[in-house]
Structure 1
Amino acid sequence: MKLRTFLILTLISCIIIGTSATMPVQDEKKDPQYTNLRVLPKNISSDELKKVMDHYSVSLGVKCNFCHVRNEETKKMDFASDAKEEKVIARSMMKMTNKLNIKNFGEKKTQYNQAVMEVSCKTCHRGKAHPEG
């Protein structure tokens, strides 16, 4: 009886060890390393970058392809590319609004009645790709 118990325990141990050795290792979810960020922080998280880009999209009433190009080889968006002039313009607009906010509202944005006092894309664009004069 002892031999049989020993063999069963050995078999179970081998199964457990074999199964755990073949399971994929789950790393912590890491944010991708973005390339060609010139205004946004280099260590921006995926969630924060998505929020920023969603804000631009809504503020200008555009989609990603307004500023970004598609790589026809990979059939995916090439977000790092500077091929479109709109992306270069967007960077200068980001710098401009940052300067305006720091100059007029200080580095930390002031809150009044839970509304953040700041200039953003939406201030002038109001959901249009090109602001009205």
Structure 2
Amino acid sequence: MRYKKTVTLSILLATVVMLSAFMPTQQQERKATNLKVLPKNISHEELDKIMDGWKVALGVKCNFCHAAKKDDPKRLDFASDEKPEKEIARNMVRMTAKINSKYFHVKDKKDGKAMLAVSCITCHNGKEHPEAN
């Protein structure tokens, strides 16, 4: 009886040890590359949040600015500068930052952080290209 308990416990322990070898290890946070306007130390979450905002403001998907990978066209190469829309987006970010720093010094009353007075949606309104008035 005692022998059965020892064998069962040993098998159970060996199974746990073996399965733990196949458990995923804690992944390192993915770091974006080729950032020219956004902070180089931006977190993946914050980068996704910004990109999602731009997608909504322009009514587009990621492939509007990001090119497909050469070796896997179903996936995007986020670091690539192949598409001219990506450089246009960078220039637009620089432009809105310049406008906001020069003309708008609005602070949120709750936390004191600067609020953007002009952003992508100001002109784009959910369209790829702003409409001329």
TM-score interval, smaller chain:
0.7 to 0.9
* 2:9 corresponding residue in structure 1: 13
Residue 68 of structure 2 aligns to a residue whose secondary structure is strand
Structure 1 position 39, deviation (Å): 1.6
| Alignment partner of 1:37 is 2:35 | yes
Residue 111 of structure 1 aligns to a residue whose secondary structure is coil
| Alignment partner of 1:95 is 2:94 | yes
Structure 1 position 58, deviation (Å): 1.3
Structure 1 position 73, deviation (Å): 2.4
TM-superposition CA deviations, 1:3-39 (whole Å, max 9, x none): x31x123213322321122222343354312211122
Structure 1 position 92, deviation (Å): 1.4
Counterpart amino acid of residue 11 in structure 1: V
Q: TM-score, normalised by structure 1?
A: 0.77
Q: TM-score, normalised by structure 2?
A: 0.77
Q: Number of paired residues?
A: 126
Greater CA deviation, 74-83 or 39-48?
Answer: 39-48
* 1:61 corresponding residue in structure 2: 59
Among 106, 110, 115, which residue is 2:107 paired with?
A: 110
Say what the alpha-carbon RMSD is for the aligned residues.
2.5
Gaps of 5+ in 1: none
Gaps of 5+ in 2: none
Q: Distance in 1 between matches of 2:120 and 2:44?
A: 21
* Larger Rg belongs to: 1
